Amino acid sequence: MSGAGQMAFGDIIREARKEHGWSQAELGEKSGVSRPTIARVEANHDVTTTTIAKIAQALGLTLELKGRA
């Protein structure tokens, strides 16, 4: 985790996927990426921004970029 009380990106994706009741394979189908890629995202490995955007859209999540304070 990057800070106190903050979840890592992969943890957010996993939680949102489970809230939808989807397996990694189901999320992969809905987002157009492979199940192993979903597993990589949930394990907080590096993936492309295109992949992140596809997964977030399938889950109904929004992405927000913030500058450092």
Please classify residue 35 by burial: count the beta carbons closer than 10 Å to its beta carbon, then call 0-12 exposed, 13-18 middle and 19+ buried: middle
Query: Which residue, chain included where needed, has tokens 């597993």?
Result: 39
The full 3-state SS of the chain, as one line of letters, equals: CCCCCCCCHHHHHHHHHHHHCCCHHHHHHHHCCCHHHHHHHHCCCCCCHHHHHHHHHHHCCCCCCCCCC
- Spatial contact of 30 and 22, defined as CB atoms under 8 Å apart: yes
Tens-place pLDDT, residues 11-48? 999 999 999 999 999 999 999 999 999 999 999 999 99
Tens-place pLDDT, residues 44-69? 999 999 999 999 999 999 988 788 76
